[in-house]
Amino acid sequence: MDQAPFIIRPATVDDVETLVDFNAAMALETEQRRLDLDRLRAGARELLTHPQYGFYIVAESPGEGTRTAVGQLMITFEWSDWRNGVFWWVQSVYVAPEWRRRGAYRAMHEHIAAQAKSDPHVCGLRLYVEHQNHNAQTVYRRVGLIPAVYTVYEQDFVLGGSGSSK
């Protein structure tokens, strides 16, 4: 399928309900988790009003007339003393099923990568992906990301453990 010229823009508080819908759909699809929508709404709003935490971008459908949000991703920050710079963590990636394989994620990734490369304080991009999410892993490899040498461990105080003990 031809790649469409998606419009990539920063998300605003006007996008909160879209971000909530996309995040809830992503959590259900990838981890079979039903998120608390009020907590999710508050979390998205908190990030949007506190840029020191990170930011969201939205991909909108191309074409004439009313534009529709078809995808999102969130960036959060991690300081690296080894590199004297900040890694941008790509998180909360979601593309609506009917828009997949049409270039929406690639457009968002290229937008973020260009923005990151132009900032001398950013030393790289990172993301994590479920071990079994082979479709996403394929997409990430296609845009030039490679598996890191690290395995992520966590102690989640809100949603609990990860893995098969969901």
SS3 per residue for 142-155: HCCCCCCCCCCCCC
Q: What's the pLDDT tens digit per position in 100-121?
A: 999 999 999 999 999 999 999 9
Residue 165: per-residue pLDDT = 41
pLDDT grade for 154, boundaries at 50, 70 and 90: confident
Q: Element (H or E) spanning 39, and its range?
A: helix 37-49
The owner of tokens 């968002």 is 108
- Residues composing the chain: 166
Mean pLDDT for the stretch of residues 95-104: 94
| All domains of the chain in start order, with CATH | 7-165 (3.40.630.30)
154 - beta bridge partners? Answer: none
Across 90-101, average pLDDT:
96
Contact 13, 49 (CB under 8 A): yes
Mean pLDDT of 12-39: 96
Question: Whole-model pTM?
Answer: 0.88
The tokens describing 91, both together, are 């998180």
Task: Note the pLDDT tens digit of each residue in 32-84.
Answer: 999 999 999 999 999 999 999 999 999 999 776 678 999 999 999 999 999 99
Residue 155 has pLDDT above 80, yes or no: yes
pLDDT at 100: 94
Q: Determine the Cα–Cα distance for residues 7 and 70; give it in Å rounded to an integer.
A: 10
Contact 27, 36 (CB under 8 A): no
Measured distance CA(121)–CA(22) in Å, rounded: 30
Write down the pLDDT at residue 164: 43
Q: Which of 122, 53, 59 is nearest to 93 (CA)?
A: 59
Q: What is the mean pLDDT of the chain?
A: 91
